[in-house]
A = this chain, B = another copy of it.
Amino acid sequence: MSYSIGQVAAKLAISPYTLRYYDKEGLLPFVDRNEAGRRRFKDNDFNFLEVIVCLKEAGVPVKQIGSFIDLCMTGDTTLQARYDFLADHEQKLMAKMARLQHTLDFLRWKKWYYKTALRAGTESIHYLPGTNQVDPAVHATFEQLVADGASPVELGKIE
């Protein structure tokens, strides 16, 4: 079974332009061509494409993905290097997810901030008396509610 660039693009939900660009950047050295020079993707190529899509999603730059594919094409001597590459990006991705969790926590505290302001009809309930500056104690209040067992998600919900 073989597939045209259009079929592969549809399956992966990316444009044929992008696939040609990836090819130009050396990400698709495994793709065959027919007599007319058109790309013919094999079933096994989807194993590579899956990896490419995964690394993209993980935020790995195209050039580095190219290096990984190079390793794949070189053979069994690069097995350790390929493992190390994946382990490295696993660590980076875990670090990123931890940062995103903090970001999410922050968004939830700010939602609570606006929810309470909305209930009061004005943001000024959070200001230091007589100023336009946010009282630093407001964040502490939120943190205390969470420490007392409230869910940040629930605290931010309206209704």
Q: Which residues of B have CB within 8 Å of A57? A: 99-100, 103
A window 50-65: CB within 8 A of B: 50-51, 54, 57-58
Chain A's interface size range is: 35 or more
Q: Which residue of B lies closest to A132 (CB)?
A: B44
Bound CA span A57–B100, Å: 7
- Report whether over half of chain A's contact residues are helix, strand or loop; otherwise say mixed: helix
Mask of A1-20 contacts with B, CB within 8 angstroms, 1/0? 00000000000000000000
Give 6 new A-B contacts, CB below 8 A, not counting A58-B100, A87-B111, A87-B156: A42-B133, A58-B107, A83-B114, A86-B114, A93-B104, A97-B100
Residues on A facing B (Cβ under 8 Å) = 42-44, 47, 50-51, 54, 57-58, 75-76, 79-80, 82-83, 86-87, 89-90, 93-94, 96-97, 99-101, 103-104, 106-108, 110-111, 114-115, 117-118, 121-124, 132-134, 156, 158
